[in-house]
Amino acid sequence: MTTITKVALGKNGPLVSKLGLGCMRMSPVWGGVARDESESIATIHAALDSGINFLNTGDFYGSGHNELLVGKAIKGRRDDAFISVKFGAIFYGSQWLGLDLRPIAIKNFINYSLVRLGIDTIDLYQPCRLDNSVPIEDVVGTIADLIKEGKVRHLGVSEITADQLRKAHSVHPVTALEIGYSLADRQIESDLLPTAKELGIGVVAFANTAEGLLTGDMKAPLPADAYQNHFSRFQGENLIKNLEKVEVLKQMAKDKGYTPTQLAIAWVNAQGDHILPLVSMNRKSRLEENMQAMGVTFTADEMNTLNTHFSPGAILGGTYLHR
């Protein structure tokens, strides 16, 4: 089985696996169904056995279900896991209600997370996004206090702008930025990625296959109940033209002996040592394929083909990443 190497998360950060495991899909999120718990735990165990120590969860994934699941999986193996937790999103059932980033709420959230996870300290703690409802200084300052108390080791941020990143980093050093990034979503290359690199902040990149667009398995039109239908990228002519774009990735994958998904992950991985692909999995059988993607290399011509064909703006329509 492939073994994953470790890299520093940011300029002076902790050593973590170059590939992260996103645990969100192991829980019932946004109206979905719960996955088989034993299979989910087996997936986490297999990831840890393979050297993947970066586990990403959120206190609102399945209303705490995901943290409880991760807690069961790491019991007795705490030292093998680096736990990243997002907070701040408020749901009622599967309905999004907004954010709560007040200091008093953050102090409440983390106590519940620690209990559900069965640990004393969270390795990376981060607001799921910032909406200016609470000053950044107050949000980051509260996490800084939790770091001083020993409840958190490192500050993370997620889905924010370059200006917000600079402001957060000025209050307390940011270890990692979690953000959507793929061949189909390259808007962060203009300012956010350069800012993170300048400040020595690691980048945890999720949505590597752009909500399934880059897997090579998607066909138009999508099933009526597909959640992607909410986004203009997956509607009507946009989807037809976008899938035509994906044919280039599919052909390159075939020529190289890999899947389009593997090439999509590999492209993100190739963007820098400070960038960590975060791949969501809920089945152990997916693990080896995704790990193999970390060993894929591109020739200069192949990289030029991908970067030109999927230049920023080449994919039509937006998703939730284009707020």
- Structural domains of the chain, count: 1
C-alpha count within 13 angstroms, C-beta hemisphere, residue 7? 21
Calculate the CA dihedral of residues 207, 259, 307, 280 and round it to 10 degrees. 10
For residue 215, what are the contacts with CB-CB under 8 A and spacing of at least 6? 209, 259, 260, 261, 264
Structural domain boundaries, residue 187: 6-211+265-296
C-alpha count within 13 angstroms, C-beta hemisphere, residue 308? 7
How many CB atoms neighbour CB 30 within 10 A? 13
- Over residues 284-305, the pLDDT tens digits come to 999 999 999 999 999 999 999 9
Which pair of tokens denotes residue 202? 């690691």
- Over residues 205-234, the pLDDT tens digits come to 999 999 999 999 999 999 998 889 989 999
* Residues in the chain, pLDDT under 70: 1-2, 30-32, 323
pTM: 0.95
pLDDT at position 318 is: 87
For residue 158, what are the contacts with CB-CB under 8 A and spacing of at least 6? 86, 126, 127, 128, 129, 177, 178, 179
Residue for token digits 């399934």? 212
Is residue 202 in a domain? yes
Is residue 30 in a domain? yes
Is residue 137 in a domain? yes
- For 90, the 3-state DSSP assignment is strand
Calculate the CA dihedral of residues 181, 312, 175, 154 and round it to 10 degrees. -30
pLDDT at position 323 is: 65
For residue 13, what are the contacts with CB-CB under 8 A and spacing of at least 6? 154, 175, 176, 202
Is residue 246 in a domain? no
Contact predicate 158/278, CB 8 Å = no
pLDDT at position 288 is: 94
Q: How far, in whole angstroms, is CA 264 from its chain's centroid?
A: 14
Is residue 166 in a domain? yes
Taking the C-alpha atoms of residue 64 and residue 117, their distance in angstroms, rounded to an integer, is: 9
pLDDT at position 319 is: 87
CATH number for the domain spanning 186: value is: 3.20.20.100
Residue 275 vs residues 84, 112, 201, 272, 323: alpha-carbon distances, Å: 15, 30, 9, 5, 22
Is residue 216 in a domain? no
Extended strands (E) in the chain: 6-8, 15-17, 20-22, 54-58, 82-87, 89-92, 95-99, 122-127, 152-158, 176-180, 202-206, 275-280
Is residue 248 in a domain? no
Catalytic residues: 61
Is residue 219 in a domain? no
Cβ-based burial of 223 (10 A; exposed 0-12, middle 13-18, buried ≥19)? exposed
